[in-house]
Structure 1
Amino acid sequence: MRKKSMQQQLIDTARALVAPGKGILAADESTGTITKRLDSIGVESTEANRQAYRDLLFTTEGAEAFVSGVILFEETLFQSGLDGTPFTDLLTGKGVIPGIKVDKGAKPLAGSPDEKITEGLDGLRERLADYAKAGARFAKWRAVITIGDGIPTDYCIDTNAHALARYAALCQEAGIVPIVEPEVLMDGPHDIHRCEAVTERTLARVFDELLAQQVLLEGMLLKPNMVISGTECPQQAGVDEVAATTLRCLRRHVPAAVPGIVFLSGGQSDELATRHLNAMNQHGDAPWTLSFSYGRALQAPALAAWSGKSDNVPAAQQAYYRRARCNGAAARGQYTDAMEQDAA
């Protein structure tokens, strides 16, 4: 049998990550972020507690019916489950693809300190080789675009777009599918129209850079924000308007060659993120698969139910399974209010 080309392997992995009715669990919180989440339930952020929490998520029976891949933090990639099985083997054994967050976080942008640039390109080629050996088959890099008075600047969008494309090219060189995440933040008083304009500017530059740096579009995924009202906007757009506006924006700037768009939840409530995804899929005419890559919106009920107690693991797993099931249905456009009531 002829060995698959690296390009074909990338395409196959990207397509598997957006298999019908499946999406991605983002369990890639940095140590600082997971510490805040554990603090919120009164649990100390030790390596053992972080391991135990990730273990309960990854061992949830049946979740693989709705979760195609899991984005891991570097610590977790090299950890084992509570039974001693390496997490990458545990996930792979369930048919779930392991991934890895590779950026080093957003830092103040030189010359424009109210904006951010994501760092982590130095040494990335070598790190990617190590991650691939450890079992990672896809990766994620997040860029942050803030809406405010006079921002985002072209400078900020350009530098982040260049870094996203450089990361994506290095990933594909290593045989790893890149998830490209340009997040326009929802913080602020701006309305949905301002969000749409900024998201359009951002996506246009990102895809210009991806093409310039010869990234194989069929072997990547896009993880964008939904086009949504700012958190402080007095007039919040409804579910149907968010769905229609987001789809219009994406159709204008995302080539049909990209196999899938896996949305971030971006601070939305668990239920609202699901409703928005479902509404987009009910349109039924997108050229890409529309799915999810949620962190908090998949995990929050499980984290609250667990509260750091081993006796609560079954309840926490049930809460995670329910949210995964709801979002799997939304990825098909089949989510209903009755499902949410069942989940309650």
Structure 2
Amino acid sequence: MDNTKRVNMVLDYIEQRLCDEVDEEAVSKIACCSFQQFLRVFSYIAGISMQDYIRRRKLTAAAMELRQNRENIINIAVRYGYDTHSGFSRAFKMHHNATPTEVIEGIKEPQLFERLFFLSPSSGENKAYRIEKGNLKTAKLINIEFKSFGPYKVIGRAIDTKLMSNDIAMTWGKFFADGSIQSLIELCKNKENLTDLPDGVAGVMYDFKEDGSIRYLIGIIFSAAAEVPDGFDSFELPAGIIAESQITGEEYEIYSQGHELTVSAVKNNGYTVDWKNFYQCEVYTDERFSNPKKDGETIVTLDYYIPVLDKA
């Protein structure tokens, strides 16, 4: 049974017990791995931590009950794990952009976060699917290669954030607006800093934590010998074997599904992901990502690197 099916089984378990605390031992048995390891797998393929997913589902279920049953607010708050009316109302408003009373009275509609369901990629078609709010979201892996890689150095701006956080989009905006990209382009004028990789800007995720937090760096990939300018951050891409894939689709599809597609293809080709030294590097090449967007295309291709262990 693959990881996707086990995640769906855990989601079923959570859905049946939204009013209860998560039993870590039960989740481990369903997932056939440690609870900590499952948290990492879930974050990778869902794009949010399991804690955030459960919180959103509880607040969605609470909104549905308020709207349908018009039950006392504090009763529903306690049912879904909130000790006080004020704490529940604060969390409710942050998620739904509406107070419980506004939902009860029909003044505002709640912002529902529906149960996720994942379909396993087909090894024949190399596709991954996610059904969200009744719509089928899909991206496609069009190529994967396994090659010697590095060492390189990504130089840019780093933040501590969470997977799929709005902080990432905001940091991209600042990266281009505050002159960071121009400073890095200056480094490219020194040929000793250059690599043989395609031109483009990279986003690297590393230092993955169990709660879904990560270190995210936006920058350009340079040679390992390149010096980091004052005020900039860096991440070393070590020498080793990587899986280099190209994921094509709408932007919102490739970001959320690139990991699952690539990991599945790694397994299908007889390799193993190097989880001990794991990072994921998304490269927005001029040829496959930037130029199509400039021409008004909505289907773009993301280059995706992850470290793997060589075949035994």
**TM tier, smaller:** under 0.3
Q: Which has the larger radius of gyration?
A: 2
- Structure with more of its chain in strand, by fraction: 2
- The normalised TM-score by structure 2 is 0.24
More helix by percentage: 1
